[in-house]
Amino acid sequence: MMRILLFLATNAAVLVLISIVFQVFGIEGILAENGVDLNLQALLVLSAVIGFGGSFISLALSKFMAKRAMGVQVITQPRNDTERWLVETVRRQAQAAGIAMPEVGMFQSPQPNAFATGMRRNAALVAVSTGLLQNMSSDEVEAVLGHEVSHVANGDMVTMALLQGVVNTFVIFLSRIVGHVVDRVVFKTERGYGPAYYITSIIAQIVLGILASTIVMWFSRRREFRADQGGAALSARAKMIGALRALQRGQQPEDLPGEFAAFGISGGIGGGLKRLFLSHPPLEERIAALEANR
């Protein structure tokens, strides 16, 4: 599940790039009607184009970016028993979940982790870390694979892209309104847009984007419970609970480096306000949810 923060980071970068291109080429000029009044209808359309464009470009690049960023080696021809077992387990689970066989890969990391990504349910990638294979039993790894296959089968990445597109749209829409008000009311710009509009819009977009990300992260936490249930169905409830407990037993749980912190099966680490920005619920809550549904 290492895709979440990479998706968000790529989305943010694309969003900024599209916004800059629109400003450089003067496309945002359609937002000013007669040089004075803000054209809200045009603004909403433009915001949707930028917002959903950034989200779906990020989705289209998600598998390629994940492979490159994490150094995933796709198993095209199994070279040993471990690789054969991984491929066959994912094949069996994919058939049970009603999706096409995903690509299966491995990446070097001492931390137990796994992720699934891809633009379509039938063209996905499932990858595990070397640390996962070294620190978990085959039953626990099977449950983790089931969890990731469930993410694919549930269409979580497409749903995330749609949600992110809606969030992006309103972030851009509101930030441009803030910039317009500051430019017209505070700096008294009468025609066109002055520097205050662009500076204020960018600052507002960053602040609103951070606040809006809590909505995306809330959705992400909810879908983890669903993926846990899927992993339990594709392997066994005891195996899924065992996999989550194995993550709890780690000597010193660590996030993945830098921007990949929210990608792993155990999710980000933290409490308090930081919880609002975590992509995964605490492990103890996920275990309790599985145990409550015996």
**Annotation says 148 is catalytic:** yes
Cα 253 → chain centroid = 21
Instruction: State whether residue 71 is helix, strand or coil.
Output: coil
CA distance 148 to 139: 15
CB atoms within 10 A of CB 294: 8
**Cβ-proximal residues to 163 (8 Å cutoff; 6+ apart), any chain:** 215, 216, 219
- Strand partners of residue 32: 38
Among candidate residues 28, 103, 142, 148, the one labeled active-site is 148
CA distance 48 to 64: 25
**Cβ-proximal residues to 271 (8 Å cutoff; 6+ apart), any chain:** none
Q: What is the bridge-based pairing of β-strands 37-38 and 103-107? A: unpaired
DSSP E strand boundaries for the chain: 32-33, 37-38, 73-74, 103-107, 114-117, 125-129
Q: What is the bridge-based pairing of β-strands 73-74 and 125-129? A: unpaired
- Catalytic residues, by residue number, are 148
